[in-house]
Amino acid sequence: MTVRKSVTLSFLMAVGIILQLLESLLPVAAIVPGYKIGFANIASLMALQMYDRKSMWIVGLGRIFLSALLQGTLFSVAFWLSLSGGLAALATMSLAVQTKWFSIFGISVAGAAANSAGQVLAITWIYQQYFMQLYLPVLLALSIVSGLLIALFVQLILRRIHYETRI
Amino acid sequence: MTRADKILIVAIMILSAGLIVPLLNHVPQASQAVVTVSDQEVMRIDLSKDGKYSVDGKLGKVYIQVKDGQIRVTQENSPRHICSQQGYVSDPNTPIVCLPNETVITIESDEQSNEDTVIQ
């Protein structure tokens, strides 16, 4: 890993942390409880587009751990939910990349849907309650919207920074 | 956007729409019927599943049937057959009492019933 790459990944991770912290201030969750657009995923997707899958894992997992550390929720229920959703999303996105069928939009939507599913599974497991499963269809439907939105953002950002010419 | 993207999005849409139907049907109603014989609880019956049960009353077997969240006594041995004539019961405030058999069936539910208060 070159210095340039590691610095870029660190910056992406920092962006992801900031986006995750800022998003907790957005009142989206008041409209649809439990729903987040997941702006932090912009960082992981950008790492994927600029480098490879390994970089995406580094940025994604680092972002989850560090933002939990900054929010003071490390190893709390919120952290485990975040981690399980993140792991499911990262694994699904890796698979989606491997198949080479999907563009960035498909990868992003698959990740967002896996995030919802992973979180609902974790809630079911932690609380031993099945009420969240009733909510899964709503979250899945919304994850299409957020996935497309995130992919659009990443595409626009990458176009603006002309990353191909710089690396 | 590739073709696979669109297929994936449509698949998730169908999945989320399809998941609503079975999950809504499976809303736990949390209501159970408690069967007591001679003041002793002998059986707890989940009212969300249809089925047929029987308990040993004082004068012989009492046959119980659950259907669509309701419960009734289908057959029992007693002089006037009051409890089997009562029919289906789904209200927590209405017990089925089979006095000759000393069998009482009450429904326990978290939901509020239609009555405001019941003086017992």
- Tell which residue, B25, B26, B27, B30, has the closest CA to residue B108: B30
% of chain A exceeding 90 in pLDDT: 54
Question: How confident is the model over A98-137, as pLDDT tens digits?
Answer: 998 899 999 999 999 999 999 989 988 887 766 677 788 8
ipTM: 0.80
Domain count, chain A: 1
**What residue numbers bound the domain in which A52 lies?**
3-166
Task: Judge: B19–A140 Cβ closer than 8 Å, yes or no.
Answer: yes
Query: Within the 16-75 window of chain B, which residues sit less than 8 Å (CB to CB) from chain A?
Result: 16-17, 19-20, 23-24, 27-28
> What are all long-range contacts of A120-128, with beta carbons under 8 Å and residues at least 24 apart?
A121/A84, A121/A88, A122/A80, A122/A81, A122/A84, A122/A85, A123/A81, A126/A77, A126/A80, A126/A81
Task: Judge: B16–A140 Cβ closer than 8 Å, yes or no.
Answer: yes
Task: Judge: B16–A138 Cβ closer than 8 Å, yes or no.
Answer: yes
Q: Model confidence at B111, in pLDDT bands (50, 70, 90)? A: low
**Å from B106 to nearest chain A CA?**
26
Domains of chain B, by residue range, sit at: 32-108
Domain B32-108 superfamily per CATH: N-utilization substance G protein NusG, insert domain (2.60.320.10)
For the purposes of burial, counting CB atoms within 10 Å of the CB of A100, is it exposed (0-12), middle (13-18) or buried (19 or more)? exposed
CATH value at residue A123: 1.10.1760.20
Rounded Cα gap, residues A150 and A112, in angstroms: 9
Chain A to chain B, count of Cβ pairs less than 8 Å apart? 52
pTM of the complete model: 0.67
A34, A43, B67 from B9: Cα distances, Å: 21, 22, 40
Task: Judge: B24–A134 Cβ closer than 8 Å, yes or no.
Answer: yes
Task: Judge: B12–A136 Cβ closer than 8 Å, yes or no.
Answer: no
Question: How confident is the model over A34-75, as pLDDT tens digits?
Answer: 788 889 999 999 999 888 999 999 999 999 999 999 988 888
Question: How confident is the model over B46-102, as pLDDT tens digits?
Answer: 888 888 988 888 888 889 999 888 889 998 888 888 888 888 888 777 888 888 888
